[in-house]
């Protein structure tokens, strides 16, 4: 297989912030970049050579994009499988539709993980309110169905959307109607001590590079802040890396694979979910690691040697949600940038909405703790009133 060298054109299906940051890394290597996104002013728009405005399941548009590209990658798992197959007729698409078919459907993904022998929490796939009620009883047998469950629509959810929490089997009907999905995954609520993730890059020939784990803090089921390296025991971090590498190899993915995991209060490591693309919890890799996740994505899909994942300095990121703009017409970026080691990335999204990721702050520190404290301090300063 021949590498796809700088000067060639990379296509990205999806033009959100992940596509934008991948495009920035590709550009700095001297690639041309084209994206496809339903929103003509998507975040990647301002970085790329051309932007195809079309739905993510538009097979004709995906084929048009791929026709002008040397390789195509994705920044979101919600791409229509027909669109993936149509693009594959014209250029290598990395990762391909086989991987997406498994990952973009939560039930298929969970069943695949369980069958592959990957540790996952107790769950049931359900297709009706009655099945959900039975699942609640089976997942909490000692209490007759009382106990917290997470119910997740099999398709389309993200950042905690398409999910409901349920406390008793008697709530099944309400939860089922609320989600309005045909297939859901019902999961027993895990007693979580920490959430971590591990990113793996894999080239077409099978070479992999695994990143040190990130520690992730969520608020309202949305990632709030994240730090690399996760300040956790080495043995636990190594176990997490091993699990992530094994999944990437079994999936035979080409590109990036992010593996979200729970560390339970009893010290168990359970895989929560997979993402076949750059991941929010590795935005800090731009500052922490010798090779950022975005550059690594470009290297992997272009079949270039993978870069070192070594940590050069601990770094953290903190997400800026639309809520910030809804509360303050102009957040005090001038104040936030006074904190040492802090940088800002805004994604140029036109409309702030509650829970919408608009940008992030990043910071390096001497320790992971210091990096996190710095992004938190900078965030607090954004709220300062203009005097």
Ligand X SMILES: Nc1ncnc2c1ncn2[C@@H]1O[C@H](COP(=O)(O)OP(=O)(O)O)[C@@H](O)[C@H]1O
Applying CB under 6 A, the residues found at the interface with ligand X are 121, 150, 152, 157-160, 187, 189-190, 192, 195, 218, 221, 260, 272-273
Q: Among residues 121 and 314, whose Cβ is nearest to ligand X? A: 121
Q: In angstroms, what is the minimal distance from the CB of 131 to ligand X?
A: 18
Q: Which of Mg ion, ligand X, none binds 189 (CB below 5-8 Å, type-dependent)?
A: ligand X
Q: Within positions 236 to 265, which residues make up the interface with Mg ion, using CB under 5 A?
A: 260
Q: Which of Mg ion, ligand X, none binds 58 (CB below 5-8 Å, type-dependent)?
A: none
Q: Token pair 């021949």 is at which residue?
A: 2
Q: In angstroms, what is the minimal distance from the CB of 312 to ligand X?
A: 27
Q: Among residues 31 and 150, whose Cβ is nearest to ligand X? A: 150
Residue whose C-alpha is closest to residue 294's, from 16, 101, 36, 2: 16
DSSP state letters, 74-110: ES-S---HHHHHHHHTTS-BSS-HHHHHHHTSHHHHH
Q: In angstroms, what is the minimal distance from the CB of 106 to ligand X?
A: 8
Q: In angstroms, what is the minimal distance from the CB of 308 to ligand X?
A: 28
Q: Among residues 110 and 287, whose Cβ is nearest to ligand X? A: 110
Q: Which of Mg ion, ligand X, none binds 160 (CB below 5-8 Å, type-dependent)?
A: ligand X
Q: Among residues 106 and 374, whose Cβ is nearest to ligand X? A: 106
Q: In angstroms, what is the minimal distance from the CB of 192 to Mg ion?
A: 12
Q: Which of ligand X, Mg ion, none binds 303 (CB below 5-8 Å, type-dependent)?
A: none
Residue whose C-alpha is closest to residue 210's, from 228, 183, 224, 191: 228
Q: Among residues 140 and 272, whose Cβ is nearest to Mg ion? A: 272
- Rounded to whole angstroms, the Cα distance separating 78 from 104 reads 6
Q: In angstroms, what is the minimal distance from the CB of 69 to Mg ion?
A: 29
- Rounded to whole angstroms, the Cα distance separating 141 from 342 reads 49
Q: Which of ligand X, Mg ion, none binds 187 (CB below 5-8 Å, type-dependent)?
A: ligand X
Q: In angstroms, what is the minimal distance from the CB of 273 to Mg ion?
A: 5
**Which string of x and - marks every residue 112-151 that binds Mg ion (by CB under 5 A)?**
----------------------------------------
Q: Among residues 27 and 137, whose Cβ is nearest to ligand X? A: 137
Q: Which helix (H) or strand (E) is 239 found in, with range? A: helix 234-251
Q: Which of ligand X, Mg ion, none binds 195 (CB below 5-8 Å, type-dependent)?
A: ligand X
Q: Which of ligand X, Mg ion, none binds 286 (CB below 5-8 Å, type-dependent)?
A: none
Q: In angstroms, what is the minimal distance from the CB of 103 to ligand X?
A: 11
Residue 232 CB neighbours (<10 A): 17
- Phi and psi angles of residue 250, each rounded to the nearest 5 degrees, phi first: -65, -35
DSSP state letters, 270-289: EEEEEESS--GGGTTHHHHB
Q: In 315-371, where do the E strands start and end?
A: 315-321, 342-346, 357-364
Q: Among residues 122 and 307, whose Cβ is nearest to ligand X? A: 122
Q: Among residues 150 and 325, whose Cβ is nearest to Mg ion? A: 150
Q: Which helix (H) or strand (E) is 375 found in, with range? A: helix 368-382
Alpha carbon dihedral 56, 103, 163, 43, in 10-degree steps, equals -40
- Rounded to whole angstroms, the Cα distance separating 143 from 75 reads 42
**Please, which residues bridge with residue 73 across strands?**
12
Residue nearest to Mg ion (CB): 260
Residues in the chain, overall count: 387
∠ Cα 239 241 244 (to 5°) = 110
Q: Which residues bind Mg ion (CB under 5 A)?
A: 260
């Amino acid at each position: 297989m021949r590498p796809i060298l700088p000067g060639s054109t990379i296509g990205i299906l999806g033009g959100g912030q992940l596509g934008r940051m991948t495009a920035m890394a590709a550009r700095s290597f001297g690639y041309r970049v084209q994206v496809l996104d339903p929103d003509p002013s998507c975040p990647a728009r301002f970085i790329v050579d051309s932007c195809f405005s079309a739905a993510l399941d538009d097979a004709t548009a995906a084929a048009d994009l791929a026709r002008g590209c040397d390789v195509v990658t994705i920044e979101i798992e919600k791409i229509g499988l027909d669109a993936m197959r149509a693009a594959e007729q014209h250029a290598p698409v990395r990762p391909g539709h086989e991987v997406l078919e498994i990952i973009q459907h939560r039930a298929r993904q969970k069943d695949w993980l369980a069958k592959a022998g990957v540790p996952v929490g107790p769950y049931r796939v359900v297709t009706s309110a009655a099945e959900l009620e039975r699942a609640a009883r089976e997942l909490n047998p000692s209490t007759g169905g009382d106990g917290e469950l997470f119910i997740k629509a099999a398709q389309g959810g993200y950042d905690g959307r398409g999910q409901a929490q349920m406390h008793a089997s008697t709530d099944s009907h309400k939860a089922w109607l609320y989600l309005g999905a045909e297939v859901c995954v019902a999961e027993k609520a895990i007693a979580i001590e920490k959430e971590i993730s591990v990113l793996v890059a894999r080239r077409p020939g099978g070479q992999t590079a695994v990143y040190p784990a990130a520690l992730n803090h969520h608020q309202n089921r949305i990632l709030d802040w994240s730090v690399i390296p996760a300040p956790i025991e080495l043995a636990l971090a190594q176990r997490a890396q091993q699990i992530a590498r094994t999944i990437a190899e079994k999936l035979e993915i080409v590109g990036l694979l992010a593996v979200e995991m729970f560390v339970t209060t009893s010290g168990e490591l359970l895989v929560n979910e997979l993402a076949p693309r750059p991941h929010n919890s590795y935005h800090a890799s731009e500052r922490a690691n010798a090779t950022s996740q975005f550059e690594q994505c470009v290297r992997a899909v272009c079949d270039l040697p993978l870069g070192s994942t070594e940590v050069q300095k601990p770094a953290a990121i903190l997400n800026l949600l639309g809520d910030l703009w809804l509360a303050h017409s102009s957040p005090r970026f001038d104040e936030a940038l006074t904190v040492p080691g802090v940088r800002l990335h805004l994604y140029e999204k036109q409309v702030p909405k509650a829970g919408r990721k608009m940008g992030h702050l990043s910071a390096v520190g001497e320790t992971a703790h210091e990096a996190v404290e710095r992004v938190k301090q900078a965030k607090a300063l954004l709220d300062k009133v203009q005097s």
